[in-house]
Amino acid sequence: MAVPKRRMSKMKGRQRRSHYKALTPTVTKCSNCGEPSRPHNVCPSCGVYRGRLLAPKSSTAAAE
Each of the 64 residues of the chain gets a pLDDT tens digit; together they read 889 899 999 999 999 999 999 999 999 999 889 999 999 999 998 999 998 898 887 655 555 5
Do residues 31 and 43 make contact, with C-beta atoms less than 8 angstroms apart? no
- Give the domain extent around 38: 31-58
Whether residue 44 is contained in a domain is answered as yes
Domain count, the chain: 1
**4: region left, alpha or beta (phi > 0 left; psi from -120 to 50 alpha):** beta
Residue 2 domain-assigned (yes or no): no
Query: Is residue 15 classed as helix, strand or coil in its secondary structure?
Result: helix
Amino acid letter for position 45: S
Residue 24 lies in a domain: no
